[in-house]
Structure formats: C-alpha cells, structure tokens
Chain A
C-alpha cells in the first residue's frame, strides 16, 4: 500500500479520535452541569480518587523529595551553591514533579480502575440498562468522575508538595548538615505563590485528563473481557502520554511567571 496514503489514513483516524473524545467530554460536562446531580456518586468518586490515592501519592512524594535533596546537593556542591538545595526541592516539587508524579500514579490507580469498571458495565449492558431506567450515563457515571478527578488531584498535589518538602527536609537536616531552621527558611524564602498555583492548575488539568481517558476508553470498550483489558491499558498509556505532553504545554504557557 502507498505509504503516504497509510500516513494520511492514520492522521485522519487520529483527528477523528480527538474529535470524539472532545465531544464526549463536552456532552458529559454539559449534561452533568444541567443536572439532575448525583451527589452520592460525586462524593464516592471524590473519596475514591482523593482519599484512597493518598498512600500511593504520599509515598511517591516523600521519596522524590528525598532524592531531589540528595541529587541537587551533589550537583550544587560542585560550585558551592549548596544553600540552593531547599529552594530547588520545593520549586521542582510544586511546579513540576508533584503534579506530574501524582498524575501518573493516579492514572495507574484510578484511570485504570475507571476504564475497567466502565468497560465491564459496557460489555455487560449495564450502561444500556441505565439508559432504559431513565438515567443518563453521562450524568450518572461520567460527570461525577470527571468532576472528582479535576477537584481532587489539586488537593492530592498540595498534600504531595508538603510531604515531598518534608522528605527533602529529613534528608537535608539528617545527612546534608542543614539546620532545621535554615532549611525551612530557605524553603519559604524563594517560594512564590505562582509556583504553587501553577502546580495546582497542572494538577487539575491532569486530573481531568486521567479521568477522561479512563471514562472514555471504558465507555467505548467492545468485545468482552479482552476488550476491557485493552481499554484499561489504553486508558493508562494515553493518560500518561497526555500528562507529559500537557505538562510541557502548560509549562510553556506559565513560563517565567
């Protein structure tokens, strides 16, 4: 087959996918906002995404903070700038690593679970059954998940930032010879509100991406257990890649702010 033609077909397919994902998201948000609302579903998702992800995200954050402190010390010691360690730790965490790592962990934990749950509901006709029982699946299933992800990931990241800084603090004070006072002082001295806000905006976007990919792939799945498995994989892979792509885009938008 003509390679150009194949590339063209692939590109068209890709654009079509993007279009249908966007439509899916807009329909869910539009209908979800219009109500009726399902507070119990929203609450369940918020707890599932926010609360039950805490251990995973916290563990990731604390070790990241500790490694950051060690590595940046190794680097900065070469030109006698060791005092920058605390600043580097907190800025990299809040602006970058907190949201990205939390996003990736939640993609693995929550995105996969959503795709599997919705995929199973799809292939066992539970989603069709919802429709026949006067319940819009977009309102009842999708919107609460999107809302939960978008609201809870910033909160998770806020916690992750604090835990990560604490990890850096532990290493800084116990291994690198910082006094607790100087470490905290240097952490706060150069930290700007912007750093935290940028991180939280990223987190909200990532939360939306993760839940959207989980929902969309699950909702579209076909063909029994195998289809659900494939949907789960796709949800995690696409969400992870999109997190990294959007991380760059958002960083560029907020660059030097």
Chain B
C-alpha cells in the first residue's frame, strides 16, 4: 500500500465477543515513522483493534506483525518483548488513581529498570515538561487533575518510555477545542521528535487533519478506505464522505443494530 516498510502489518484480523463480530477480516499497514489515524463510528471496534495489537485481547484469527514478529498466538514472554516497543494513551487516561502523578509517569520506566526515587522524579518532571505541565503537578493525585491535565499526564506516561510506536485512543475527546489543539500539537511534535510510528483513533476531524499522514476508515469490522490525509476529501467513497461531514443520511445507518 505504501512505500515505507510496514512497522505494523495486519492481515485478516478477526475478533468476536460471543455472537458479536467486531472485527471481521481487517487489513491495515502502518508504515514506519508515519502517523496513521483510524476513524469510524462508535462501537466499530477501534479500541478493540489497538488492544489486539497490544495482545491485551486475544485475536480470534488473522495475523498481526510488529516489525515482523507475530502477535497473534505469541507466548507471554514474546508478547512482553513486543510490548516494550509500545506506549499507549488510553481513551479515559487510565491513570493509576492510587499513585501520585510522578509515579504514574515513571511507572513503566521503573518496571523496566531499577532507578532511585530521585532519578524517577527527575524523569517525571522532564516528561511532564514535554507535555507542558509544571513540576508542581508531579505531587498531585490524578483525581485532583482536570480532564485535559489527565490526558496530558497520560501522554507523558506514554512518551516517558521513549517507545518506537505510540497509540493514542481518542486523545482529544472531551476536551475544549483549544485544549484539543494543544494535545494535537503535542502528539505531532512528540512523535516527530522521537521519530516514532503513531497509530491513533479519533472522531474529531480537526484532529485527523492535524495528526494524520494516512487515514483508515473502519466500518463493519473492515478497513473500507485507506489513503493519504490529503486525499480524504476526494476519496470518492460515500462512507468516508458521510463520516467526515458528519451527515445523518448516507450509506452508514445508525441504531439499526
């Protein structure tokens, strides 16, 4: 599909929960060093897709290769190795609410190597700085933060590991437009600075245009359109047109299931 070698190559991915077929043979390539954004309606399995790639959910069928290593059916130890390449910002932030911000940010770093508290704090403050948060946030508890700040702390936690691949699950949902733009800028600059490959999910078209190199549209468990973000407006695909213009009428029907 693209020139750069695929960092993540997904073929024929299927995942069901009981009788509900969420992913039904999904193909997707994420070229190394680029930013791919997945769009699609609520409940079409975008979060499930990310969790399958991370091996948090076990795919039913198909293949997911990360740098050539197969995730589907991998053993616990192999999975741990593969997961070292990833950092993820969860949809709701998913900060550990029993730990202060600085311990949240350095949690992954401390799980991978033994470092002292002072060193950990220094790393936390440094990464908080990258997302535009002051050092005094480090000692707050997650419950004391606003939604936007929680997203930023989640972002700091994801980038603290300096991963090769970053996942962002709806990074701007629930934020005011200005904060959303700040987060978009952060995502763009952080991934650029680290040379990371990014896979994001969003409903927010402004965000898509800002952070995407490539866009994949998910519908009924498959990728029905994939292309460069510049081609989004002339995709010639009715589903994509309906989605990006947010129209109620069109080939996508809501509420029939």
Contact (Cβ within 8 A) A134 B90: no
* Assembled-state Cα–Cα distance A128/B90 (Å): 9
In the complex, the chain A residue whose C-beta lies closest to that of B84 is A134
* Assembled-state Cα–Cα distance A128/B167 (Å): 13
Contact (Cβ within 8 A) A132 B96: no
B40 vs chain A, min Cβ distance (A): 19
* Assembled-state Cα–Cα distance A132/B55 (Å): 9
CB neighbours of B245 from chain A (8 A): none
**Residues of B near any A CB (own CB < 8 A):** 51, 54, 56, 80, 83-84, 86-88, 90-92, 94-97, 107-108, 111-112, 157, 161
* Assembled-state Cα–Cα distance A120/B84 (Å): 25
A110-130 vs B, Cβ < 8 Å mask (1 yes, 0 no): 000000000011001110111
Contact with B108, one of A120, A121, A134 (Cβ below 8 angstroms): A134
Contact (Cβ within 8 A) B51 A128: yes
* Assembled-state Cα–Cα distance A134/B91 (Å): 19
* Assembled-state Cα–Cα distance A241/B245 (Å): 56
Contact (Cβ within 8 A) B94 A131: no
Contact (Cβ within 8 A) A128 B108: no
Given A131-B54, A134-B83, decide whether A125 and B92 contact each other with a Cβ distance below 8 A.
yes
In the complex, the chain B residue whose C-beta lies closest to that of A120 is B97
Contact (Cβ within 8 A) A132 B86: yes
Interface presence of A135 (CB below 8 A): yes
Contact with A125, one of B80, B94, B157, B161 (Cβ below 8 angstroms): B94
CB neighbours of B157 from chain A (8 A): 133
CB neighbours of B80 from chain A (8 A): 134
A84-108 vs B, Cβ < 8 Å mask (1 yes, 0 no): 0000000000000000000000000
- A selection of 21 A-B contacts at a CB cut-off of 8 Å is A124-B94, A125-B90, A125-B92, A125-B94, A128-B54, A128-B56, A129-B88, A129-B90, A129-B94, A129-B96, A131-B83, A132-B54, A132-B56, A132-B86, A132-B87, A132-B88, A133-B108, A134-B80, A134-B84, A134-B108, A135-B111
* Assembled-state Cα–Cα distance A143/B121 (Å): 27
CB neighbours of A129 from chain B (8 A): 88, 90, 94-96
A104 vs chain B, min Cβ distance (A): 27
B108 vs chain A, min Cβ distance (A): 4
Which of the listed residues B86, B90, B112 has the most CB atoms from chain A within 10 Å of its own CB?
A: B90
Besides the known contacts A126-B94, A131-B83, 5 further A-B residue pairs in the complex with CB atoms under 8 A apart: A124-B92, A125-B94, A129-B88, A133-B108, A134-B108
Which of the listed residues A121, A130, A133 has the most CB atoms from chain B within 10 Å of its own CB?
A: A133
* Assembled-state Cα–Cα distance A135/B161 (Å): 13
* Assembled-state Cα–Cα distance A47/B108 (Å): 26
CB neighbours of A121 from chain B (8 A): 96
* Assembled-state Cα–Cα distance A124/B95 (Å): 9
How many chain A residues touch B (CB < 8 A): the figure is 13
* Assembled-state Cα–Cα distance A131/B96 (Å): 12
Contact (Cβ within 8 A) A133 B111: yes
CB neighbours of B92 from chain A (8 A): 124-125
Contact (Cβ within 8 A) B107 A135: yes
Contact (Cβ within 8 A) B84 A126: no
In the complex, the chain B residue whose C-beta lies closest to that of A36 is B111
B219 vs chain A, min Cβ distance (A): 24
B53 vs chain A, min Cβ distance (A): 11
In the complex, the 4 A-B pairs of residues with the closest C-beta atoms, listed nearest first: A133-B108, A125-B94, A129-B94, A134-B111
Which of the listed residues A120, A129, A130, A132 has the most CB atoms from chain B within 10 Å of its own CB?
A: A132
A37 vs chain B, min Cβ distance (A): 13
CB neighbours of B111 from chain A (8 A): 133-135
Contact (Cβ within 8 A) B112 A128: no
In the complex, the chain A residue whose C-beta lies closest to that of B161 is A133
In the complex, the chain A residue whose C-beta lies closest to that of B163 is A132
* Assembled-state Cα–Cα distance A88/B51 (Å): 58
A73 vs chain B, min Cβ distance (A): 49
A1 vs chain B, min Cβ distance (A): 18
CB neighbours of A130 from chain B (8 A): 96
* Assembled-state Cα–Cα distance A135/B88 (Å): 14
In the complex, the chain B residue whose C-beta lies closest to that of A123 is B92
CB neighbours of A132 from chain B (8 A): 54, 56, 83, 86-88, 108
In the complex, the chain A residue whose C-beta lies closest to that of B167 is A132
CB neighbours of A135 from chain B (8 A): 107-108, 111
CB neighbours of B96 from chain A (8 A): 121, 126, 129-130
A92 vs chain B, min Cβ distance (A): 40
CB neighbours of A134 from chain B (8 A): 80, 83-84, 108, 111-112
In the complex, the chain A residue whose C-beta lies closest to that of B96 is A126
Contact (Cβ within 8 A) A125 B91: yes
* Assembled-state Cα–Cα distance A150/B108 (Å): 29
